[in-house]
A and B are shown apart, each in its own frame.
Chain A
Amino acid sequence: MTTTVTPPETKPVEKTKGPRLPKSARAGGQLHGGPIAYAILIVFTLVSLFPLVWTAIAASRDNQRLAQTPPPFWFGSGLFDKLEIAWKDANLGEAFFNTTIVAGTSALTIVFMSTIAGFAFAKLRFRGRGALMLIVIGTMMVPPQLSVIPLYMMVAKLDWTDQLQAVILPSLVSAFGVFFMRQYLIQALPDEIIEAARVDGASSWRVVWHVVFPAARPAMAVLGMLTFVQTWNDFMWPFLVLTQMGNPTVQVAVAGLGRGYTPDQSLIMAGALLGTLPLLLVFAIFGKQIVGGIMQGAVKG
């Protein structure tokens, strides 16, 4: 399980030999954080985590308690009852199933397509490569929201309302994925290995299968997770083509709970909590890899 994606270039701090430098010379990443640094980080972490914890607190209280001051700061006893009701009311069982399918399909497809495209852009020479790569980067600048109306017309025409393929297909366009894999493969895949495979008479496809995929595996895992998270949290488009009681994703179901006529705030919080828990779990387990992936994707040429 070697899923560290951080490139080997970031070496740990080097001890400076030779002439001693003034203290401020050991700057950048080299100084130890003082108490103030820790204090700021702890405050920031608390602010980041507090709304999530409070969602659980609110979900464990009943509605009357939420309509009092001061607001509750600790858990009540109703959490599991509320979770159960929210699960049924918001159609969350179906929603989880659907979202897993949508996010899973989308992640697998994007990872596969991005890897082969990223490989071509990173290591193969072909006419128009630079221009095509520019187009890929340019597509990142076009927000998907601007395309929803024709897509909606398409869905209406094909009668795909409430069907998952209506959500999956448009989610497969990922310029970020192509870019991400390209950046990774440029440095992670030595040209010599490809040439060696070529000399052995391997076709391009065999090179992809036997050389590129094994080399790209860590980055593929990270891209898969990032895509999964993103698709899981997609809001506007699923909200337009899926309905809460028809065939919802988690976001549609949770939003439906919030926008429905239930006056029960704690129930809404229970639904929001349920919708968030799976991803929080993923982050708790793979947090390090995801952090590495985001940072890896950030350093670009």
Chain B
Amino acid sequence: MATRNDTAAPPVKGGAAPGRPPEDAAVEKERRRRDRLSRRWQRDIRWSPYAFVSPFFLLFVAFGLFPLIYTGWASLHQVELTAPTDMNWVGLRNYTRIFDDDFFWNAAKNTLTIGIISTVPQLLMAMGIAHILNYKLRASTFFRVAMLAPYATSIAAASLVFVLLFGRDYGMINWALDTVGIDAVDWQNDTWASQIAVSSIIIWRWTGYNALIYLAAMQAIPHDLYESAALDGANRWQQFIHVTLPALRPTILFTCVVSTIGASQVFGEPLLFDANKGTSGGAEHQFQTLGLYLYEQGWVAQHLGRASAIAWTMFLILIVIGIVNYVISRRLRASS
């Protein structure tokens, strides 16, 4: 409202004598115009931020939030794939059914082990590679781009190649093991071997990417920190432990969260790794993940309701993991 007075001020400044109607009208008109503009201006300032962020939120509600909530609703119904719009209320029966299913627990266990054996070595290696990339190097751009090539490779292509590389009889890896005197490993049917093989696809695709993320964080560490640590007599390893790692803590946490979420969703790799082209993750379900189990229940057994219950269970697990993560990071921050 202050603007209204402001805009009215200029004519007075001219010091013109009062009582000249035509000019007054013009002033009045000008004042109104400015008023209108200023009101539009204010409206613009006030509402345009919401207009700018609304497309994202509208899409998120339509294709993220609503489906997520609706999954919970569908999980309380019997829904068949062939008639996805017919829903019969069954209460918690979908949940009791999957909790009674050994293959659910098997898939949960496999997801956990594949998650661990794919994430932990991946992030450790990424950290090492990032540390090396942080040296002054020739051709550093080449190395960075080259290690991102697996990231450019799709899950589908990568998985199909790894099936061949991990072939029991003619695969490259067993051949290499043979040359150093190790017996052929059955990468398809052995539980541990198959899970390692599936994890290796994930490790291969994501290590370079995570290395770049760590590298970016390392480059943001101020050099004086290293210099004062060195003056205090810290050797390079101690510098890494006491300067680099603490400075990287938020980034490490970030990659852990992202990898955890990714690991809970593993689907394409075990689907395509199965040489028998099934959906059960190997003949004995030895590398079936929760994502694959969800697909098998929903699209092969055609129980969308049960698949929804699996999805919602995964969501609850993720929330628990998220809370644990949050608490741990809180603790770490408090202790430092």
Contacts and interface: CB of A to CB of B under 8 A. Distances in A.
Contacts of A280: 149, 152-153
Contacts of A26: 230
Contact of B71 (A146, A258, A295): A146
A114 B55 CA distance: 9
Given A27-B236, A37-B132, A150-B66, A269 B267 contact: no
A55 B158 CA distance: 9
Given A235-B155, A298-B213, A299-B220, A152 B304 contact: yes
B6 to A, nearest CB: 14
27 contacts: A27-B223, A27-B227, A27-B239, A29-B219, A41-B137, A44-B147, A51-B158, A119-B52, A132-B57, A139-B64, A141-B257, A145-B311, A150-B67, A203-B48, A204-B45, A235-B156, A236-B268, A236-B295, A251-B155, A255-B271, A283-B149, A291-B141, A291-B145, A291-B212, A298-B216, A300-B250, A300-B254
A9 B318 CA distance: 36
B63 A147 contact: yes
Contacts of A271: 160
B161 interface: yes
A33 B44 CA distance: 55
Interface in A253-301: 254-255, 257-259, 265, 268-269, 271-273, 275-276, 279-280, 282-284, 287-288, 290-291, 294-296, 298-300
Contact of B84 (A136, A157, A269): A157
Interface in A29-80: 29-33, 37-38, 40-41, 44-45, 47-49, 51-52, 54-55, 58, 66-71
B336 interface: no
A300 to B, nearest CB: 8
B98 to A, nearest CB: 14
B304 A294 contact: no
Interface in A202-236: 203-205, 208, 229, 232-233, 235-236
Contacts of B7: none
Nearest to B250: A300
Residue with the greatest number of chain B CB neighbours at <10 A, chosen from A40, A49, A152: A152
B108 interface: no
Contact of B148 (A68, A204, A290): A290
A254 B152 contact: no
A14 B227 CA distance: 12
Nearest to B134: A29
Interface string A75-110: 000000000000000000000000000000000000
Contacts of A151: 63, 67
A108 to B, nearest CB: 13
Interface in A136-176: 136, 139, 141-154, 156-157, 169-170, 172-175
B27 interface: no
Interface stretch (B14-22, B164-172, B191-199): B164-172
B215 interface: yes
B198 to A, nearest CB: 14
A117 interface: yes
B5 interface: no
A141 B311 contact: no
Which 5 residue pairs across A and B have the least CB separation, nearest first? Answer: A287-B145, A25-B230, A147-B67, A295-B216, A204-B48
A298 B308 contact: no
Contacts of B267: 145, 235-236
A153 B213 contact: no
A269 B156 CA distance: 11
B308 A71 contact: no
Nearest to B237: A24
Contacts of A139: 60, 64
B302 to A, nearest CB: 12
Contacts of A129: 49
A67 B164 CA distance: 10
A78 to B, nearest CB: 16
A21 B156 contact: no
Contacts of A245: none
Contact of B70 (A51, A150, A173, A269): A150
B74 interface: yes
Given A132-B53, A173-B59, A298-B217, A268 B68 contact: no
A149 B52 contact: no
Contact of A25 (B74, B84, B133, B231): B231
Contacts of A141: 257, 261, 318, 322
Contact of A268 (B144, B160, B291): B160
Given A233-B155, A236-B267, A70 B175 contact: yes
B164 A28 contact: no
A51 B164 CA distance: 10
Given A33-B137, A153-B84, A294-B213, 15 more contacts: A29-B134, A31-B135, A52-B161, A69-B175, A70-B175, A71-B171, A116-B52, A145-B267, A203-B41, A208-B52, A255-B156, A255-B271, A272-B160, A295-B216, A298-B212
